[in-house]
Amino acid sequence: MTNALTINYAIALLDASKEEKKDLYLLEKEVSFCVEIFKNNRDLARFLELTTVTNEEKYKVIDNVFKDFDSIIVNFIKLIVLRSRAHYIYDIFKEAEKKFNAYLKVEKVIVYSSEPLSIENLEKIKKALESKNNKRYELKNEIDKALIGGIKVVTENDIYDASVKQKIESMKKALLKGGN
């Protein structure tokens, strides 16, 4: 849920990171990881919302869970808890991820394949996209068994479909039209 609160917190994190001259590419990765953590671990977010647990106890858990993160991320999470905004923590980090990506001109891309792709193949796809569009891309490989083989690349504005499923669909349409 995007609202003024989530946007303001996201902008504050980006601005503070720039002010502190932090490595924004590294922080963007940590922000993205926080999105995954809070998406997949709703119990952690619910724990941080509890009014029956002291902030000091919550800070200990935050320090433990996020011990390998940059201090600005850890302190940001603590600030969210201190301000009783933990209910919005996932949405705040989701919005922060968008703000970091927009500032860094990084576009998230999903590469669908029927089997996991190797790091080398993902790098080749990334380089091809970057040379074609003169942008930076961050790729995520997701498995879609329905593709049968090949890949489908989904960017913000385009879909490149080189899957066997798509080729079969094209042949089916051509046959139904009576074409070649």
pLDDT digits (tens, 9 = 90+) for 65-121: 999 999 999 999 999 999 999 999 999 999 999 999 999 988 889 999 999 999 999
Q: What is the pTM of this model?
A: 0.75
Q: Where are the domains of the chain?
A: 4-102, 105-177
Average pLDDT estimate for 20-39: 95
pLDDT tens per residue across span 114-123: 999 999 999 9
The predicted pLDDT at position 172 comes to: 85
Nearest to 18 by CA among 138, 108, 103, 107: 103
**5 Cβ partners below 8 Å, 6+ apart?**
85, 88, 92
- Burial of 126 from C-beta contacts in 10 A (0-12 / 13-18 / 19+): middle
> Which numeric CATH code is attached to 4-102?
1.10.520
Measured CA to CA in angstroms, residue 113 lies from 24, 84, 118 at distances of: 30, 41, 11
Res 179 pLDDT > 70? no
Average pLDDT estimate for 28-32: 95
The predicted pLDDT at position 157 comes to: 83
